[in-house]
Chain A
Amino acid sequence: LMTQSPATLSVSPGERATLSCRASQTVSNNLAWYQQKPGQAPRLLIYGASTRATGIPDRFSGSGSGTEFTLIISSLQSEDFALYCCQQYHHWPPTWTFGQGTKVEI
């Protein structure tokens, strides 16, 4: 089980946003963050807890290990207002579990 907080985060453009994800059991660094805008598929932002995916701006950063993870958006741009989901990969047996998401709104 992946628990994200807060459910909704209200932030002004240019401000910093901090999103949290907690796993019910340790997942090492097998965690990813996705961004999803209305009507679109999710986009991979961060994998391995802290590695930015190809083409992701460096204002997005991930950290954490074990059960506590954080996504920071250092200076919110207009295009960053979206839903953010964390997802853990459990190696054995292989399973993938998504969090409920944090909506970042203006």
Chain B
Amino acid sequence: QITLKESGPTLVKPTQTLTLTCTLSGFSLSASGVAVGWIRQPPGKALEWLAVIYWNDDKRYSPSLKSRLTITKDTSKNQVVLTMTNVDPVDTATYYCAHMSYTLQYFFDYWGQGTLVTVSS
């Protein structure tokens, strides 16, 4: 079955770069029509889409965060990596990765459990 798992630091200092890894299982990001997205949720607040990477290496970013985000994939490792530069306390959130596919119109149908990242000095 399809599963995703996020990993990365739980605490990051302001101005540092945050690197998060999403490990995929049960599907391949090299399969046509598949994509993986990153979404975050600050404590008690709404979900916010961050970035998406498609099977063909096309990438899309939230316009408000585009200058700070990079999304990449390593199909041999079944991983997707999201980097966020120059983090700030407002970036404190639970970060999720999620599976997407053409057949489900690129909605987020399978989610990882999420990883809480705190930005603090």
Contact = CB atoms under 8 A, between A and B. Distances in A.
Chains A and B come from one and the same complex:
yes
Interface of A: 30, 32, 34, 41-44, 47-48, 53, 85, 87, 89, 93-101
| Chain A interface mostly | strand
A24 B105 CA distance: 20
Contacts of B27: none
Contacts of B104: 44, 47, 53
In the complex, the 7 A-B pairs of residues with the closest C-beta atoms, listed nearest first: A41-B111, A96-B49, A98-B47, A47-B107, A32-B107, A94-B60, A100-B46
Contacts of A43: 111
B45 to A, nearest CB: 8
Nearest to A54: B109
Chain B's interface size range is 20 to 34
B111 A89 contact: no
Interface of B: 37, 39, 46-49, 52, 60, 62-63, 96, 104-109, 111-114
Contacts, number: 57
15 contacts: A30-B105, A41-B112, A41-B113, A42-B47, A42-B108, A42-B111, A44-B104, A47-B104, A47-B109, A48-B105, A53-B104, A95-B49, A96-B52, A98-B48, A99-B46
B63 A95 contact: yes
Contacts of B52: 94, 96
A47 B107 CA distance: 7
A30 B62 CA distance: 18
A87 B41 CA distance: 14
Contacts of B105: 30, 47-48, 89
